[in-house]
Structure 1
């Protein structure tokens, strides 16, 4: 095997490397392995191989998060099936190469997929153009039918057990929000949703979206959950105005297929609340510096206030 492999490859066991080679083609050999930034619930690597056709790059996800696997033991199968459906979207998405659902081959569950061109851009030259690209791309995902998909949307938080967080400077807002999310769920036609749609999962080449990655949580569900998840992310990364501009762009692209309801924004907001707000660790890998946990608290308060105002007028 080629001796130009870098030190990062030591993080892959020989059985994993053998599985990658066998999955791509037995005439291939691994030339390098690079840890990918941004992953917080699994280990992601870019694996470069050489074969008779030339150089090929693939992405390997190793699901080493015990909590995730305890909740979803078929996580590798889930992502593999998600990637198959995602191919129907009018956007570039990774193609599944192989998966090890139980870890019987690799030691832990693993997913192997093709690598997309492009890079994450969290500091766009034109924010309005960037938001337009994010919004249009999401409508293309939502255009995919998912009637036969076995994974369905559910809330990550137990809505009946929500409590006012101690960090918030506006405790009076929370009971209003809790009453809404605990109330009747709006009736919507489900479609294929990404379930973790945010700017760090969207790739760009120049000023154009070149693909969407990280389909491990995709499911059949309401469009508003994806929109809301991206909005709360944008509110933390930038401000409420940016989150609102994304919503306006999405509404314009979606047309009659989408009817906005702040219920989904509030549910998506509650879904991210696991302890005091902190700066998302993945952002630093893409050049975002200067954010603090205190800023996240303040921006989430401001965003919640904007959502309550949408409901109460």
Structure 2
């Protein structure tokens, strides 16, 4: 077995566990570390068969991550549920949520074609595709619902960026002090954003992009569609500018999605997710730089977050 780089090396117990879930005669011939994961180490494993053919699997390993067992169980349940649906999700191969066999909690899944696309070019084509895909996810009606959504951000934990519009942020924080508005529950991805969507797109033909997969289902929940839409909106705002964050909710409705009827109810979810990002701007910016957006410094992302939150509050005025 060869490693693409040192970070791609699979730990011995995990390697043995993966090997037990391969077909007879198969072996791992190459490993490659994949960028983009914040909570998990992600590796692509190339599996060789006796006849010389190969296939790829993806290994997600949660190292020193709180609640890894819960997340992996939810992801395994979601991947099982999504089998046979129109949502292009990976197939589950094996899961070790308690690290009973591996060094750390791990999940092994099939590899999907395509790649994440975080560039500005072609965004006007990809945003409607993202919206239609999210509408399809929210249309699922599982026999057994995943757990109710959780929001970890509170009015007291928000980190107001340096130089932010103090009045707008104070007003936004006041919004999430109020009880959550009533909602009709939907099946949520809960981390639906460009970093978790795979595209087939040629650099020479960005307008012909198509979605080939949606990954990272560890936060699957039951809750308001507005929350998933708000999360993708925040990510688009930080990746591409506040205007794109505001655009996504429109695209979602154009694709047939239904959001809260009242403007103040929509604002609650939009603001809640935007403020939640304030607590992890540095980590998010670092992940995106590693994924090929070196200009997204922490300061740049903070400025975009401030612009987005301010725009949300201005829209309500």
TM-score w.r.t. structure 1 length? 0.89
Decide which of 134, 141, 152 is 1:145's aligned counterpart: 141
* Paired residue secondary structure (2:80): helix
C-alpha spacing 1:87/1:187, structure 2 compared with 1 (3 Å): farther
Q: How many residues align?
A: 306
Q: Distance in 2 between matches of 1:150 and 1:91?
A: 17
Q: Distance in 2 between matches of 1:60 and 1:275?
A: 25
C-alpha spacing 1:297/1:128, structure 2 compared with 1 (3 Å): same
RMSD: 2.3
- For 1:133, the equivalent position in structure 2 comes to 129
Contact in 2 for aligned 1:120/1:286 (Cα 8 Å): no
What is the deviation of 1:4?
4.8
Contact in 1 for aligned 2:157/2:279 (Cα 8 Å): no
* Paired residue secondary structure (2:256): helix
Where do 5+ consecutive residues of structure 1 fail to align? none
* Paired residue secondary structure (1:123): coil
C-alpha spacing 1:34/1:233, structure 2 compared with 1 (3 Å): same
Q: Distance in 2 between matches of 1:91 and 1:203?
A: 12
Higher mean displacement: 19-28 or 193-202:
19-28
Q: Distance in 2 between matches of 1:179 and 1:113?
A: 42
- For 1:176, the equivalent position in structure 2 comes to 171
In the alignment, is residue 242 of structure 1 matched against residue 240 of structure 2? no
- For 1:293, the equivalent position in structure 2 comes to 298
Instruction: List aligned pairs for 1:1-313, cutoff 5 A.
Output: 3-4=1-2, 6-8=4-6, 11-52=9-50, 54-64=53-63, 66=64, 68-69=65-66, 71-87=67-83, 89-123=85-119, 125-146=121-142, 148-157=144-153, 159-162=154-157, 165=160, 167-206=162-201, 207-256=209-258, 259=261, 261-274=266-279, 277=282, 280-311=285-316, 313=317
Contact in 1 for aligned 2:158/2:279 (Cα 8 Å): no
Q: Distance in 2 between matches of 1:166 and 1:203?
A: 31
Contact in 2 for aligned 1:234/1:242 (Cα 8 Å): yes
C-alpha spacing 1:289/1:258, structure 2 compared with 1 (3 Å): same
Contact in 2 for aligned 1:89/1:143 (Cα 8 Å): no
C-alpha spacing 1:271/1:89, structure 2 compared with 1 (3 Å): farther
Where do 5+ consecutive residues of structure 2 fail to align? 202-208
- For 2:204, the equivalent position in structure 1 comes to none
